[in-house]
Amino acid sequence: MRLTLHTFLTLDGVMQAPGGPNEDRDGQFEHGGWSFPYGDPDFGRAMTGWFANADAFLLGRRTYQIFSAHWPLVTDPEDPIASRLNSRPKFIASTTLGAVDWPGATLLDNDIVAEVADLKQQPGNELQVHGSGGLAQTLIEQDLIDEYRLLIFPVRLGSGKRLFREGARAAALRLTSTTTTSMGVIISTYQPAGSAQYGSYENSAS
C-alpha cells in the first residue's frame, strides 16, 4: 500500500486543531476550528475522492480519539467518509493507549516505524494518515510517506503546532497536482523528490 498523508495547514504552516476549539489546546492554543469557515462543495469532493481510495487508515492517538468519538455514530452506508472509516482496518500508533475499541482498529504500540514499513508491504491501494501531527512528523523523518496531500487555508495564526517542525531534515518535494476551492483553499499534492537542492543567483563572474 502507498502511504498518503492528508493535512490541513494555515498559510504559516499550523496544523493544530483545525476542526474545533477543543480538539487540541496544548500550549494554550486558542484558534481551534480555523478550517471550518472554508468548507464548500469543492473541499467536500476532494475529501470524498481521497477516502474512496483508502484500503486502511493509520492514525495517531489524538486523531483516533476524535474520529472514534464521531464516525461510528454516522451509520448511513451511503456516507462516503463514514462508510470507509467504519469498514476499513485502522491502525493506531500510540504508546499511551491501553486498548482501542473502534471495530476494525488495531493498536500499534511497539516499533512504530517497523510496523508501518510492514503495513506498506501489504496488498492494497492506500494506507491513509489524516491529521495525527506527531505521527506524521515521525513518518516524514523516516521517509515513509509516498504522497503529501496538503490543504492550505487562507488564514494565518502566528502560533500552534506545525507539520514540518524545526530541525527536520531538509528534503525536496515534487508538485504533482494543485487546485483551488471556491473559498480559497489550495489543495496541493506532492511526492518526495530526494534531497534538497541548492544554488545561487549571485553572478559568479563579478
pLDDT at 85: 97
pLDDT at 109: 75
Average pLDDT of the chain to the nearest whole number: 94
* Portion of the chain with pLDDT greater than 70, in percent: 99
pLDDT at 82: 96
88-110 per-position pLDDT tens digit: 999 999 989 989 999 999 999 78
pLDDT of 27 strictly over 90: yes
Name the phi and psi angles at 55, rounded to 5. Answer: -100, -15
Cα-Cα end-to-end distance for the chain: 52
pLDDT of 58 strictly over 70: yes
pLDDT at 206: 54
Domain residues of the chain, as ranges? 2-192
pLDDT at 168: 85
170-192 per-position pLDDT tens digit: 999 999 999 999 999 999 999 99
- Please give the sequence-ordered ranges of beta strands (E in DSSP) within the chain, or none if there are none: 2-10, 54-60, 90-93, 105-108, 126-130, 147-153, 173-180, 186-192
**Residue 109, CB-side half-sphere exposure with 13 Å CA sphere:** 10
- CA angle in degrees (0–180, nearest 5) for 70-71-72: 100
CATH of domain 2-192: 3.40.430.10
pLDDT at 144: 97
**pTM of the entire predicted model:** 0.92
- Spell out the residues 6+ positions from residue 8 whose beta carbon is closer than 8 angstroms to its own: 15, 18, 35, 131, 151, 153
* Portion of the chain with pLDDT greater than 90, in percent: 89
